[in-house]
Amino acid sequence: MYVPRAIEPVVSSIAKAFPVLLVTGPRQVGKTTLLKHIAEAGRDLAQPPGRNYVTLDDPLQRRLAVEEPELFLERFEAPVIIDEIQYAPGILPYIKMRVDRDGTKGAYWLTGSQIFHLMRDASESLAGRVGIVHLLGLSQAEIAGRPSVPFLPTKEFLATKRRGTEKGSLTEVFTAIQRGSLPALYAGEKRPDVEQYYSSYVQAYLQRDIKDLMQVGDELAFLRFLTAAAARTGQMLQYADLARDIGISQPTAKKWLSLLVTSGIVTLVEPWHDNTLTRMIKAPKLYFLDTGLAAYLTRWTSPEALEAGASAGAFFETFVVSEVMKSWYNAGKTPPVFYYRDKDRNEIDLILESDGEIHPVEIKKSANPGKDAIAAFRVLANAGKSVGSGGVVCCASEYLPLDAKNSIVPWWMV
């Protein structure tokens, strides 16, 4: 069963505007399923249905693409979907020559699981010819069949979200956190066991992406590293601590973390910078983009245990940050997310910067946060930017004003 994706209109629009469409994102988030659905449903606005398909996961097709790119493109003529293009980036200049010759919009639809590395190759080879979108796992809006809108804690946004949105409980949010957001866990009546699914996912990730593409020598050490990173979701990144816990060097820790970022497993939220605030801490915060994977790696096997555990707050924060990022990516926009922390221990979990304003957001597992939750917002009064409305995303049952500019925002409204 296909779960409709909020990003579909963005993909169709890009297919009309560019000869090449590139959908990046982690494995198993539904990149190929999305493109096949659009083509088969007749929403392929640049080409008629009947698009060819080939995956470079197939070693024979990969070898042909790497060794004989021109022959490969003759064998799989446009319009075509080419899956996992990161395995044969050398084919991109040949695609460039073909689109320059033919000029057909939407001729080549590409997917790739190596996000930033692939985008760099694509931008160098296909500058001005490729439209890039980034897909993550299912958002709660997509799972519930609700419209998806980029999140901002403004009265206008929250008023829209209040209409037609079913309330969610503490049990429901931790069930969503422990299950994660990968589409296979939500499609069809016979859904896979969560633990078995993530076990297979980790093995496939290690064997395909890490072993084949990254040449990591010690797979067991990398798995320990992956687990240690999951235990730090929602925390500031300290390479020295991470390296020491695994028994590896700091350069190796930096290299391995860059692999997690490149393959869409984690994201680093950078600190918000302002020249007028001089005591800011500059280390980024680390978040897993799929909470189900992080829960599996850290041995949380039930929503109840996770909710009662010491990591509950960090997992709730990770969940909210991931949902915020999905809401922006699904609109075809880069999430304008930052965080703030200074040497006086003032911390703001998220700062969203949009249209010249900054919007502070605190994230609390609490069902009844007070004004102390927004105490750190006061440091932004000395910032060089206009401060808009803010909020506390939490487990409250109702959306309520906290003061004239800030609101209590239930998690199900993100």
Q: Are residues 119 and 163 in the same domain?
A: no
pLDDT value of position 34: 96
**Res 48 pLDDT > 70:** no
Q: What residues form DSSP beta bridges with 18?
A: none
Q: Are residues 315 and 396 in the same domain?
A: yes
Tell me whether residue 2 is in a domain: no
What global pTM score does this model have? 0.94
**What number of CA atoms fall less than 13 Å from residue 159's CA on the CB side?**
3
Domain boundary among 134, 150, 170: 134
**Res 45 pLDDT > 50:** no
Tell me whether residue 19 is in a domain: yes
CATH of the domain at 40: 3.40.50.300
Q: Are residues 159 and 98 in the same domain?
A: no
Tell me whether residue 377 is in a domain: yes
Domain boundary among 109, 134, 159: 134
Q: Are residues 95 and 165 in the same domain?
A: no
pLDDT value of position 382: 82
Domain boundary among 81, 104, 134: 134
Question: In the chain, pLDDT over 90 holds for what percent of residues?
Answer: 72
Q: Are residues 272 and 177 in the same domain?
A: yes
pLDDT value of position 46: 46
Tell me whether residue 351 is in a domain: yes
Q: Are residues 117 and 153 in the same domain?
A: no
DSSP state at residue 75: H
**Res 43 pLDDT > 60:** no
Encode pLDDT of 183-217 as tens digits: 999 987 778 899 999 999 998 887 777 766 666 76
Q: Mean pLDDT, to the nearest integer, of 16-23?
A: 95
Q: Are residues 129 and 225 in the same domain?
A: no
Q: Are residues 111 and 154 in the same domain?
A: no
Can you give the residue range of the structural domain that contains 253?
140-413
In this structure, the strands spanning 400-401 and 406-410 are antiparallel
Encode pLDDT of 250-277 as tens digits: 999 999 999 899 889 999 999 998 766 6
Q: Which helix (H) or strand (E) holds 131?
A: strand 130-134
> Between these two residues, 134 and 210, which has the higher pLDDT value?
134
Tell me whether residue 309 is in a domain: yes
pLDDT value of position 277: 67
Q: How many domains are contained in the chain? A: 2
Q: Are residues 155 and 194 in the same domain?
A: yes
Encode pLDDT of 283-326 as tens digits: 999 999 999 999 999 999 999 999 999 999 999 999 999 999 99
Tell me whether residue 3 is in a domain: no
pLDDT value of position 181: 97
Tell me whether residue 1 is in a domain: no
Tell me whether residue 83 is in a domain: yes
Encode pLDDT of 79-116 as tens digits: 999 999 999 999 999 999 999 999 899 999 999 987 76
Q: Are residues 341 and 211 in the same domain?
A: yes
Q: Are residues 174 and 95 in the same domain?
A: no
Q: Are residues 75 and 173 in the same domain?
A: no
